[in-house]
């Protein structure tokens, strides 16, 4: 059994956490993981690559969805520091639980994935004033890549044999973000709701540094929030995961296996 510390001091998102966890695996484990995840859904594929960014070596993933429709998310600022394209489509209006139950993964991972989506559905119900949770379908709680991100994270935690997970406070970023022509303050409403009871702050990095998917995963898997003490812990390995957004300062998730 291993212990894991997640450093969210420059943000947290599903792809960033996935990349950091993948960075902790050896080559054989990475290839086995990719075989599993790329058989989860038709017309979806997760790709992985090592990159060098801001004088750091780390990893990044891309979840490729073979769909035509896209939802655009971008930070609202005169300098336009970042932009992100998120594929968005429903899975034939199926509930997430129906899709997850057909995944060829362990019962434990399925339960964890479902728990995270239940949190997202509850949050969307609150934010959109929808009285019945079961009326919220997959296209209302996020994109297909969010489902793959969450499943990937749960798979990786199982592969790494993680027993205990602790995390730092979350850097939310600040400013405004635009989704489908609507402008919201950062953190956006769904993110802000899920962040309740999670220590958070913002630095001088303008933009959306954490996402609903990232904080929902964090809330469900983390047992404690604390500052990391390097002198009191024996480090086995460090993984760094970069996201798709570009900022004028380094943003990444650091995962420390100990």
Paired strand residues for 85: 72
Work out the average pLDDT over 214-225: 97
pLDDT of residue 229: 86
Residues 160, 2 contacting (CB under 8 angstroms): yes
Confidence band of 87 (pLDDT split at 50, 70, 90): very low
Task: Read off the pLDDT of residues 178-208 as tens digits, 9 standing for 90 and up.
Answer: 876 788 899 999 999 999 999 999 999 999 9
CA distance 191 to 212: 5
CA distance 115 to 255: 22
Residues 34, 46 contacting (CB under 8 angstroms): yes
Task: Read off the pLDDT of residues 102-149 as tens digits, 9 standing for 90 and up.
Answer: 999 999 999 999 999 889 878 877 887 766 554 444 544 456 778 899
Residues 246, 226 contacting (CB under 8 angstroms): no
Q: What is the pairing mode between strands 200-201 and 170-171?
A: parallel
E-strand stretches of the chain: 2-7, 44-53, 56-65, 70-76, 83-87, 162-167, 170-171, 176-179, 182-185, 200-201, 224-225, 237-241, 253-257
pTM: predicted TM-score of the whole model, two decimal places: 0.86
- Other C-beta atoms closer than 10 Å to the C-beta of 99 total 19
What does the mean pLDDT of the chain come to? Answer: 85
Q: How far is CA 63 from CA 22, 34, 114, 129, 150, in A?
A: 14, 11, 20, 30, 11
User: What share of the chain in percent tops pLDDT 70?
Assistant: 82
CA distance 131 to 124: 10
pLDDT of residue 133: 52
Q: How far is CA 79 from CA 12, 83, 140, 168, 242, in A?
A: 22, 11, 30, 29, 21
């Amino acid at each position: 059994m291993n212990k894991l510390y997640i450093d969210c001091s420059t943000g947290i998102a599903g792809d960033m956490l996935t990349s950091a966890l993948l960075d902790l695996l050896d080559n054989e484990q990475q290839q086995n993981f990719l075989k599993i995840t790329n058989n989860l859904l038709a017309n979806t594929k997760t790709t992985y690559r090592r990159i060098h960014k801001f004088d750091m070596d780390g990893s990044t993933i891309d979840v490729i969805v073979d769909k035509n429709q896209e939802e655009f998310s971008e930070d609202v600022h005169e300098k336009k520091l970042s932009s992100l394209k998120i594929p968005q489509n429903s899975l034939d209006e199926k509930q997430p639980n129906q899709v997850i139950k057909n995944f060829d993964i362990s019962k434990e991972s399925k339960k964890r994935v479902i728990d995270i989506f239940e949190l997202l559905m509850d949050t969307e119900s609150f934010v959109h004033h929808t009285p019945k949770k079961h009326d919220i379908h997959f296209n209302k709680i996020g994109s297909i890549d969010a489902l793959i991100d969450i499943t990937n994270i749960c798979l990786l935690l199982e592969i790494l044999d993680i027993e205990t997970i602790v995390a730092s406070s979350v850097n939310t970023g600040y400013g405004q973000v635009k989704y489908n022509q609507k402008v919201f303050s950062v953190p956006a409403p769904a993110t802000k709701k899920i962040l309740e009871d999670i220590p958070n702050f913002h630095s001088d990095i303008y933009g959306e540094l954490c996402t609903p998917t990232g904080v929902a995963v964090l809330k469900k898997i983390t047992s404690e929030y604390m500052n990391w003490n390097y002198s009191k812990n024996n480090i086995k390995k460090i993984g760094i995961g970069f996201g798709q957004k570009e900022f004028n300062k380094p943003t990444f998730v650091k995962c420390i296996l100990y």
